[in-house]
Amino acid sequence: MRRWPMMSITSLLAWLWAAVALAGPPAAPVKDEIDGLLARLEASGCDVQRNGTWHNAAEAKVHMLTKLEYIERMSTLKSAEQFIDLAASTSSLSGKPYMIRCAGVPPVESRSWMLAQLEALRAAANPKRPQ
């Protein structure tokens, strides 16, 4: 019978402490972009489909914030793209992509919509200067 080496209590506690120490809110620029994405979603008037059910933008924002809080307890997001991939594009339960439906436009995958909004946010924050 094979025996696995046992981790000492001290080693286990040190590992857990390190994991918790790495968790937390994203850096300010990343947090600002995430907040901007969620504000754009809420102001869009679009609906978001999760697991076959459509939700208004305010409900979707609350759901994504809940996922963000969970992620922040486990790790630290390094980019807004990571937030999109982990919290704003796919169901953690089913693995199905979220869809976004805006008035007069066919539904699109949330990831595509969010990435386009992120690009617009960054362009607005860093407009090219005339030459």
The pLDDT assigned to 128 comes to: 79
Mean pLDDT, range 28-45, rounded to an integer? 96
Q: Report CA 63 to chain centroid distance, whole Å.
A: 10
d(CA 1, CA 99): 50
Phi then psi dihedrals of residue 17, to 5 deg: -60, -40
| Average confidence (pLDDT) over 36-43 | 98
Secondary structure class of 128 (helix, strand, coil): coil
Q: Give mean pLDDT, residues 102-112.
A: 97
What mean pLDDT do residues 58-82 have?
A: 96
